[in-house]
């Protein structure tokens, strides 16, 4: 008689940077641990090209079933899109979507456990009602998780705005966090974005356990502090067990366009470690002025490059967050300096909006990565042994950039001069040359190669991250049956 496979559900929020690592976790549960996984997807009446590509991938294993929640009509819950910030918009959509969550969980047969997302903790309430253990997968660094776990205590003790604190914030197990590196959501405690952020991190102790996308060799002191420091056993509620299970990154991607193939064919013709790859994640955008300076700095550096260029926005940041994966119809000639494409022809390759990031980072010709420092991109760069130029835009990226440069030693961060609002072309030329041909770049490349080996080892059978996840799934297979 055939025994049914244990069934769990995985539920990310709709942000692509959260969707990807949750999908990788789901795939790992199926392929390495013998589970049947229902992958629940928040949908809206607004199409998502990037989401569709991921969920229609031929690489999904047979026992991973995509279950789309009923679509949310965004226009009915967000009356003025221009005034609703990214996190608030995300959380409002999630809350509306979860009106159907109870019935969906019942329809799929009440899974033995549900793994959900940092910005989807509303699911905890539904799981409690149905007696389904709820776990949280936090897809950021251990250091940022320590900061989030500490935030409720900080909120209760600090009366002023955090950015007005005279000293850096000291979180146990972390380097001091400079106030200028804080998330935009934490710079004004009166706005809805801050209230939503605090709401979700305050609910972290309600999870049965927390998975984090990191590993012990990468952040040993922080992980030890989260597990052992007495503070985390009482602020303001004791935290649940924490399991580092990373680095979980995309192992493959579907090359679905002529542009994808063009990038790889172009790389095939370049010398090893000679190409700088520039892309600002799934949602990052630059201002017109900053994009112009970046282009001219690249040109001055005379280094080979592949640049996925997006249409600039009035204000830099997450301008493409809710339109990830869409290819701009505009010709890059329209928003790059006049003559730039002609002058850099043969040295650089410019593509519109998107490029196959995993394939490009894994190519032997790629020698540097100018990145927004989203944690998925950081892990992909480490796993492929590529040093970084840190160019943070939003979310926790400024904190990541500081840790990458000062703690990990695998990135350099361009400097913005006092009184300036953009990084100028001369500074861009300097850091590009530093990473691609300077002695500092060689040191960073050597260090990231060490971390690459550590990352591969962490996921081997019986190694730290593999064993960490195995301990939980073995519990699901026994105690929860």
* Annotated catalytic residue 117: yes
298: closest CA among 210, 175, 425, 203?
Answer: 425
**Residue 258 tokens, joined:** 């002529």
| Strands laid side by side in the 348-352 sheet | 348-352, 304-309, 275-279, 366-371, 388-390, 411-412
Judged by DSSP in three states, 203 sits in: coil
26 vs 171: CA distance, rounded Å: 31
241 vs 212: CA distance, rounded Å: 11
**Residue 451 tokens, joined:** 């971390």
Task: State the DSSP string of 206-237.
Answer: GSS-EEES--TTTSHHHHHHHHH-GGGGTSSS
The neighbouring-strand residues paired with 177 are 169
**Residue 444 tokens, joined:** 């960073």
Inter-axis angle of helices 439-458 and 375-383, nearest 10: 90
Cα 19 to the chain's mean position, in Å?
9
268 vs 407: CA distance, rounded Å: 33
Same fold, 7-246+459-478 and 258-456: yes
**Residue 13 tokens, joined:** 């929020």
423: closest CA among 291, 308, 275, 276?
Answer: 291
53 vs 57: CA distance, rounded Å: 6
* Annotated catalytic residue 18: yes
- The β-bridge relationship of strands 388-390 and 366-371 is parallel
Task: State the DSSP string of 319-358.
Answer: TTGGGTTPPP-S-GGGTS-TTHHHHTBTTEEEEES---HH
**Which position among 18, 33, 323, 363 bears the catalytic label?**
18
Q: What is the pLDDT of residue 423?
A: 97
Q: Map out the domains of the chain as residue ranges.
A: 7-246+459-478, 258-456
Cβ contacts of 107 within 8 Å, gap of 6 or more = none
**Which position among 22, 36, 117, 363 bears the catalytic label?**
117
Q: Which residue carries 């928040």 as its tokens? A: 42
Q: What is the pLDDT of residue 281?
A: 87
User: What's the CATH number of domain 7-246+459-478, 3.40.50.2000, 3.40.50.300, 3.30.70.2740, 1.10.10.10?
Assistant: 3.40.50.2000
User: What's the CATH number of domain 258-456, 3.40.50.720, 3.30.420.10, 3.40.50.2300, 3.40.50.2000?
Assistant: 3.40.50.2000
Phi, psi values for residue 276, rounded to 5° = -90, 130
Q: What is the pLDDT of residue 80?
A: 55
Cα-based distances in Å from 1 to 4, 31, 63, 259, 481? 10, 22, 19, 49, 18
Q: What is the pLDDT of residue 481?
A: 54
pTM, two decimals, is 0.94
Residues with pLDDT less than 70, the chain: 1-3, 79-84, 256, 315-330, 479-481
Q: What is the pLDDT of residue 51?
A: 85
């Amino acid at each position: 008689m055939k025994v049914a496979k244990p069934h769990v559900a995985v539920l990310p929020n709709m942000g692509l940077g959260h969707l990807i690592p949750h999908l990788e976790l789901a795939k790992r549960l199926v392929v390495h641990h013998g589970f049947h996984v229902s992958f629940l997807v928040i949908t809206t009446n607004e199409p998502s090209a990037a989401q569709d590509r991921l969920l229609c991938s031929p690489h999904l294993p047979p026992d991973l079933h995509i279950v789309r929640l009923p679509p949310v009509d965004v226009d009915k819950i967000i009356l003025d899109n221009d005034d609703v910030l990214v996190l608030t918009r995300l959380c409002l959509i999630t809350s509306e979507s979860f009106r159907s969550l109870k019935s969906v969980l019942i329809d799929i047969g009440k899974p033995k456990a549900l793994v959900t997302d940092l910005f989807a903790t509303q699911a905890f309430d539904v799981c409690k009602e149905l007696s389904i253990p709820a776990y949280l997968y936090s897809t950021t660094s251990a250091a940022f998780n320590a900061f989030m776990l500490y935030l409720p205590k900080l909120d209760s003790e600090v009366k002023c705005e955090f950015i007005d604190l005279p000293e850096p914030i000291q979180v146990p197990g972390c380097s001091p966090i400079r106030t200028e590196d804080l998330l935009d959501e934490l710079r004004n405690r009166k706005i809805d974005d801050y209230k939503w952020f605090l709401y979700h991190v305050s609910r972290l102790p309600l999870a049965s356990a927390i998975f984090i996308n990191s590993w012990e060799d990468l952040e040993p002191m922080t992980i030890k502090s989260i597990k052992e420091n007495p503070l985390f056993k009482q602020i303001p509620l004791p935290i649940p067990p924490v399991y580092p299970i990373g680095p979980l990154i995309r192992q493959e991607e579907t090359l679905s366009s002529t542009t994808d193939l063009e990038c790889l064919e172009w790389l095939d013709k370049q010398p090893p470690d000679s190409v700088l790859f520039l892309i600002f994640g799934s949602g990052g955008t630059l201002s017109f002025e900053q994009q112009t300076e970046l282009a001219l700095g690249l040109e001055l550096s005379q280094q080979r490059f592949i640049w996925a260029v997006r249409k600039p926005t009035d204000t830099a940041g997450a301008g493409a967050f809710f339109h990830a994966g869409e290819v701009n119809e505009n010709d890059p000639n329209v928003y790059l300096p006049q003559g730039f494409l002609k002058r850099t022809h043969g040295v650089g390759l410019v593509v519109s909006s998107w490029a196959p990031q995993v394939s490009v980072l894994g190519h032997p010709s790629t020698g540097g990565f100018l990145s927004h420092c989203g944690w998925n991109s950081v892990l992909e760069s480490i796993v492929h042994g590529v040093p970084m130029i840190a160019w943070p835009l939003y979310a926790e990226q400024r904190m990541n950039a500081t840790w990458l440069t000062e703690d990990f030693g695998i990135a350099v961060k361009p400097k913005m001069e006092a009184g300036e609002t953009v990084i100028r072309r001369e500074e861009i030329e300097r850091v590009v040359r530093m990473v691609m041909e300077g002695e500092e770049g060689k040191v960073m490349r050597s260090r990231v190669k060490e971390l690459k080996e550590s990352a591969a080892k962490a996921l081997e059978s019986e190694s730290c991250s593999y064993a960490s996840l195995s301990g939980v799934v073995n519990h699901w297979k026994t105690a929860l049956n």
